[in-house]
A and B are shown apart, each in its own frame.
Chain A
Amino acid sequence: MNDTPRVGVVTFPGSLDDRDALHAIAAMGGTGVALWHADHDLRGVDAVVLPGGFSYGDYLRCGAIAARAPLMAEIRSFAERGAPVLGICNGFQILCEAGLLPGALIRNASLRFVCEDVWLRVETSQTCVTAGLTPGETIEVPVKHGEGQWVATSEELERVEGDGLVVFRYAAEDGQLGDAFNPNGATNHIAGVRNAAGNVVGLMPHPEHAVDPDVGPTGGQPLFAALFEAALAGATA
């Protein structure tokens, strides 16, 4: 009966890649559901995507104002129930600001916005988006952000690394790490992290812009496939 997952995509004022995420979900065979920041209703979705963009202009700090939106209270309890939540770019920033993911994202080391395709090395398959991938494997996905440098205090960094919360690192195509492959100066080349349970994941790169070979790379496909699996598993559970 319910074999296409219902995946919600939240629109905040200033969200930009919300439509793109809905398209990617549809292209991958899911059912996208538009969610509105000011509502208190997740419309019965099985998974939530917080899309990229510049919510509230990224004024003050990126993601700061959106993290306090009404719908975020619902998303918090949704996440606490173990349901899959994926934050992309601004969505990642929002999840960090909301305290659902460790660390924070600050200005790129270059101080410049950067838009380019990068390679990501998968660090764990214990998450709602990497279940189908093998650690060490690399995928190609674009980044586009001005504030994507992931940082944390040294204690927090130790915990994140120690507990295996890093999901993706910027890398060369063969998985090698190095500053040349790190577009924003992120600490330890961290591109994405998860919560302890692995059901909440955030990353700066844009998997929703990496599903259609006519307009970009395809490294985002396995992420959506895994997210759908997780969504269906939660829906039947």
Chain B
Amino acid sequence: MSEPLHRQLGLKDDEQERIVATLGREPNRAELAMYSVMWSEHCSYKSSKIHLKTLPTEGPAVLVGPGEDAGAVDIGDGDAVVFKMESHSHPSAIEPYQGAATGVGGIVRDIISMGARPVALLDPLMFGPLTEPRNRWLFEGVVAGIGGYGNCIGVPTVGGEIRFAEAHSSNPCVNVMCVGLAKADELVTSQSLTPHVGSFMVLYGAATGRDGIGGVSVLASATLEEGADESRPSVQIGDPFAEKLLIEASLELIREGLLEGLQDLGGAGICCALSESATRAGMGAEVDLDVVPLREADMEPFEILTSESQERMLAIVHPSKLAAVEALCARWGLHTAVIATLVEGGTLTIRHAGEVVAEVPARSLADDGPEYDRPMTAPARIEDGGDPALTPFEGDLNDALRTVLAAPGIASKRWVWRQYDRIVQGNTVAGPDSDAAVIRVPGTLKGVVASSDGKGRYGRLDPYLGAMHAVAESARNVAVTGAEPLAITNCLNFGNPERPEVMWQFAESIRGMRDACSGLATPVTGGNVSFYNESGGSAIDPTPVVGMLGLLRDYRLRVPSAFPQAGLAVYLLGETAAELGGSEFAEAVLGQVSGMPPALDLSKERALLDLLVAAVGDTLLASAHDCGDGGVAVALAECAIGTGHGFAVSIPTDLPPHVALFSESASRAVVSVSPIDEEAFRALAAAYRVPCARIGETGGPRAVIDAAIDIPVARLAEIWETTIPRLLGEAV
């Protein structure tokens, strides 16, 4: 006996009952397919919604919060920045190149559908150790796919991050963030445009094939297991050339004032775009599937409705503007098809071959999906190794620094970003070799600043603190350039939410994100949830990835992270405590992931951020670099590696030397200050109540820290630069 159809499609029995109640009858095949994709975890957020609602979403800069295709913030002078992050992890685990490529395509269309020109991409990625051939294949494929797509559409990839942990061997995570620019009064939202009854829904872009049919339920909402072969044919192939044409045509359609609405086609394809567009318009639609351009002639209605073929958009067009829309699209070589007409009421009536194949309330698909308050249980605390700060360490500290710098998570990611076009569009003031990317706003002096950060190891030890640190670190990365952090987007990477432990991790992470975003006044404008990152018996660490956006009033003020010259004073800002829990040192040197992550005091963090922004505004800093993974030792080493200027410092502390060097205490930064600015800088630090210790000076070819560290900078640079190429088996 086979399972009932709804269960095969991933719908639970109570969900099926809910559909029957909504329709007042049994759903037919096409309808069942529509509900199954729209009510999947991926599209409906049924497990996460109840928690996401608790996040702070409002603030003076927020123009568009969660709920639209992407969030938007105001950066003054009528300019808006649109940004959002999304995962494409499950497809990437099967076909890394195409999975990552289509991930870029998807998030870029979210930005376009807001009426914004995509100006930057960031790619937070997580893999298993590169010592495994399969992980290398995934890593190389994902990087090539992101570059292959991003480079071809002319959007610079300017940042990201890469973390490594065993659980990602079977569950690589691919998140992509896109940033776009628009005029605030030209943003396309459900508020800004008013569709009319009788207006057309025009599908434009690529033809529809059998791509990712049921992909949302099969690929994104069920745990990957061995023999995931059945889901294989649904891998999608990206066509970046078609996407580039979509970008140009869409922005022109908006500029010419030809649209009453615009939406990208992503998960759940036409079905999702139709139901969401109609719901937002407060209307229904008469839909004709016979006019949808198909790549394969014999597609069934449910296939046409749920296909996830890439590079398509859906516009709402008043009949009087149709000819102009068609002409504009034709100029860019894009096909158009009027697939629906908006009607009063809220019903989607879908016809195929002259017959009604589905008749459902649009809202029931888009908005009225199930919502779960899933059970949660705090896992028994894993007291594996205790506090690593208490582990005696007798080793050589020079060796320890070399080991930590060679940890793949710390080592240079040049091998990766060298494959990305970071300069197209001509506005990249700072790219991946900076703590945060700086993109200038054309025609102005403003710089949009973006950073992405996730803290998997901290999350494993304490998901609440892990999420807080992700927010704080991304804010710090933005602030060290001199920019004021404004708002975040996120991508929440977790295991199976049907397991109470995972749900607890999720709720704790949301609580941490909520507290940190409130404390740092950086509201959440949107994001994406990626559950079911769990196969091969292991779930990933709870990893909320934060995409922070900031504003630099004058991009020319931007401060680099590395020491620009010799003869500068080096200051350590913030306080250092004995905090090695979840640190890079504890993992790489002691082989321990245990204890508690560092504490985080949001008022201290905020004071540091404010000081950095003020000091850069007063041009008091020559360089600024946040102290993050690997502690002050790694921060200082990175400052020196960037330009080759060494340093000699002495860190005043009562802590054992290895703890002082590698503690990952939060809310710290290493800055360099020219002697004439020192007095003013110290006064400013005092005014912001940020502890500020002058620890030494830049200069010379060596990195010297007290009696503990003395290594030529060139040697540090070699270790840092060659780790990843070596792991990939390249001659270096």
- CB-based contact A115/B423 at 8 Å: yes
Segment of B45-53, B214-222, B426-434, B674-682 in the binding face: B426-434
B420 contacts across to A, CB distance below 8 A? 113, 115
| A159-215 at interface with B (beta carbon < 8 Å) | 206, 208-209, 212, 214-215
Q: Cβ of A57: which chain B residues have Cβ within 8 Å of it?
A: 152, 239-242, 244
Contact residue among A52, A54, A116, A142 (Cβ-Cβ distance under 8 Å from B240): A54
Say yes or no: A13 contacts B245, CB within 8 Å.
yes
B244's partner among A14, A59, A116, A206 (CB-CB below 8 A) is A14
Is B440 a contact partner of A214 (Cβ separation < 8 A)? yes
Docked pose: A76 CA to B566 CA in angstroms = 54
Q: Which residues B142-172 have CB closer than 8 A to chain A?
A: 144, 147-148, 151-154
Interface size range on A against B = 20 to 34
User: Complex Cα distance A57/B149, Å?
Assistant: 10
Q: Does A16 contact B (CB under 8 A)?
A: yes
Interchain CB contact under 8 A, A17 and B555: no
Contact A214 to B151, CB < 8 A, known contacts A16-B244, A112-B419: no
Q: Which residue of B lies closest to A209 (CB)?
A: B423
CA distance A206 to B423 in the complex (A): 10
The chain A residue with its CB closest to the CB of B555 is A214
Q: Mark B170-186, 1 if CB is under 8 A from A, else 0.
A: 00000000000000000
Q: Which of A11-35 contact B (CB under 8 A)?
A: 13-14, 16-17, 19-20, 23-24
Please, which residues of chain B bring their CB within 8 A of the CB of A16? 153-154, 244, 424
Q: Is the interface of B mostly helix, strand, loop or mixed?
A: mixed
CA distance A113 to B421 in the complex (A): 8
B241, B426, B429: residue with the most chain A Cβ atoms closer than 10 Å: B426
- A59 and B423 in contact, given A114-B418, A214-B440, A214-B556 (Cβ under 8 angstroms): no
What B residues does A142 contact at CB under 8 A? 423
Closest to A115 in B: B421
A144 at the binding interface (Cβ < 8 Å): yes
Q: Please report which residues of chain B, range 319-370, place their CB below 8 angstroms from some CB of chain A when the two chains form the complex.
A: 332-333
In the complex, the answer to whether A17 meets B424 with C-beta atoms within 8 Å is: yes
Contact A20 B425 (CB under 8 A): yes
A53 to B556, CA, bound (A): 28
Taken together as a complex, chains A and B put the C-alpha atoms of A23 and B426 apart, in Å, by 9
Tell me how far the C-beta of A76 lies from the nearest C-beta in chain B, rounded to whole angstroms.
Answer: 23
**B423 & A13 in contact (Cβ 8 Å cutoff):** no
Contact A53-B241, Cβ < 8 Å, known A214-B440, A215-B426: no
A70: interface (CB < 8 Å):
no
Q: Distance (Å) between the CB of A142 and the closest chain B CB?
A: 6
Closest Cβ of chain A to B427, distance in Å, is 7
- List, in ascending order, chain A residues with CB within 8 A of B333's CB: 13
**A115 and B419 contacting across the interface, CB-CB below 8 Å:** yes
Enumerate B240-279 residues with CB–CB distance to A below 8 Å.
240-242, 244-245
Chain A positions within 8 Å of B151 at CB level: 54, 113, 144, 146
Chain B residue numbers with a CB within 8 Å of A112 are 144, 418-419
**Residues in A neighbouring B241, C-beta threshold 8 A:** 13-14, 54, 56-57, 59
Across the interface, which residues of B come within 8 angstroms of A58, CB to CB? 152
Instruction: Please tell me if the beta carbons of A115 and B422 are within 8 angstroms of each other in the complex.
Output: yes
CA distance A208 to B422 in the complex (A): 14
Q: Return the contact of B154 from the options A24, A53, A212, A215 (Cβ within 8 A).
A: A53
**How far, in whole Å, are A206 and B427 apart by their CA atoms in the complex?**
14
List residues of chain A with CB within 8 A of the CB of B417.
115
Interface check A99, CB cutoff 8 A: no
A82 sits at the interface (CB 8 A): no
Interface string of A121-160 (1 = CB under 8 A from B): 0000000000000000000001010100000000000000
Q: Which residues of B contact A56 (CB under 8 A)?
A: 241
In the bound assembly, the distance between CA atoms of A60 and B502 in angstroms comes to 47
> Within 8 Å CB of A20, what residues of B?
424-426
- Across the interface, which residues of A come within 8 angstroms of B429, CB to CB? 214-215
Instruction: Give Cα A212 to B151, complex, Å.
Output: 21
Alpha-carbon separation in the docked complex, A5 to B642 (Å): 41
Q: Report yes or no: A215 in contact with B423, Cβ–Cβ below 8 A.
A: yes
With the chains together, A19 CA to B622 CA distance in Å?
33
Total chain B interface residues with beta-carbon distance under 8 A: 31
Near B by CB (< 8 A), chain A positions 25-79 give 52-54, 56-59
The answer to whether B152 and A215 touch across the interface, beta carbons within 8 angstroms, is no
Determine how close the nearest CB of chain A comes to the CB of B704; give it in whole angstroms.
29
Tell me the bound Cα distance from A54 to B152 in angstroms. 6
> In the complex, are the beta carbons of A115 and B418 less than 8 A apart?
yes
Q: Considering the complex, give the chain B residue whose CB is closest to the CB of A183.
A: B418
Give the complex CA separation of A58 and B241 in angstroms.
8
List residues of chain B with CB within 8 A of the CB of A54.
Answer: 151-152, 154, 240-241, 244
Which chain B positions have C-beta within 8 A of A214?
429, 440, 555-556
Complex Cα–Cα for A4 and B677 (A): 45
Q: How far is the CA of A191 from the CA of B428 in the complex (A)?
A: 24
- State the CA gap A53–B418 with chains docked (Å): 17
For residue B427, which residues in chain A have a CB less than 8 angstroms away from its CB?
215
**In the bound complex, CA of A17 to CA of B148 (Å):** 16
CA distance A20 to B421 in the complex (A): 14
Chain A contacts of B245 at CB under 8 A? 13-14
Residue of B nearest to A56 (CB): B241
Q: Encode contact with A along B669-708: 1 for CB under 8 Å, 0 otherwise.
A: 0000000000000000000000000000000000000000
- Bound together, the chains give a CA A13 to CA B152 distance in angstroms of 11
Chain B neighbourhood of A144, CB < 8 A: 151, 421-424
Measured CB to CB, the closest approach of chain A to B327, in angstroms, equals 13
Cβ–Cβ contact B440 & A215, under 8 A: yes
| Nearest neighbor of B427 in chain A, beta-carbon distance | A215
A95 to B244, CA, bound (A): 22
* CB pair B419 A19 closer than 8 Å: no
Q: Is the CB of B428 within 8 A of A215?
A: yes
CA distance A197 to B698 in the complex (A): 53
1/0 per residue B129-144: CB within 8 Å of A? 0000000000000001
Q: Are the CB atoms of B418 and A116 closer together than 8 Å? A: yes
**Which of B244, B419, B420, B423 has the most A CB atoms < 10 Å from its CB?**
B423
Q: Smallest CB-CB separation from B423: which chain A residue?
A: A209
Per-position 1/0 for B465-483, Cβ under 8 A of A: 0000000000000000000
Contacts of B144 in A (CB 8 A): 112-113
Contact flag A209-B240 (CB < 8 Å), given A58-B152, A115-B418: no
CA distance A114 to B144 in the complex (A): 11
Distance between Cα atoms of A214 and B441 in the complex (Å)? 13
Contact partners of B425 in chain A: CB under 8 A: 19-20
Q: Is the CB of A113 within 8 A of B419?
A: yes
CA distance A142 to B427 in the complex (A): 14
Q: How far is the CB of B445 from chain A (nearest CB, A)?
A: 10
Find the A residue at minimum CB distance from B143.
Answer: A112
Q: Of all chain A residues, which has the CB nearest B157?
A: A115
CB distance from B331 to the nearest CB of A (A): 8
Tell me, in angstroms, the Cα distance from A226 to B244 when the chains sit together.
Answer: 32
Q: How far apart are A140's CB and chain B's nearest CB, in angstroms?
A: 13
Chain B's nearest CB lies how many Å from the CB of A162? 34
- Of chain A, the residue at the smallest CB distance from B150 is A113
Shortest beta-carbon distance from B157 to chain A in Å:
9
Within 8 A of A (CB), among B420-456: 420-429, 440
Residues of chain B touching chain A, judged by Cβ–Cβ distance below 8 Å, are 144, 147-148, 151-154, 239-242, 244-245, 332-333, 417-429, 440, 555-556
A-B residue pairs in contact (CB < 8 Å), sample of 19 = A14-B245, A16-B154, A16-B244, A17-B154, A20-B424, A52-B424, A57-B241, A112-B144, A112-B419, A113-B144, A113-B420, A144-B421, A146-B148, A206-B423, A208-B426, A214-B429, A214-B440, A215-B428, A215-B440
B-contacting residues of A (Cβ < 8 Å)? 13-14, 16-17, 19-20, 23-24, 52-54, 56-59, 112-116, 142, 144, 146, 206, 208-209, 212, 214-216
Closest 6 CB pairs of A and B: A57-B241, A16-B154, A20-B426, A54-B152, A144-B421, A113-B419
Q: Given known contacts A17-B154, A215-B440, what 19 new A-B pairs fall within 8 Å (CB)?
A: A13-B244, A14-B245, A16-B153, A20-B425, A54-B240, A57-B239, A57-B240, A57-B242, A112-B144, A112-B419, A113-B419, A144-B421, A144-B423, A206-B423, A212-B426, A214-B429, A214-B555, A215-B423, A216-B423
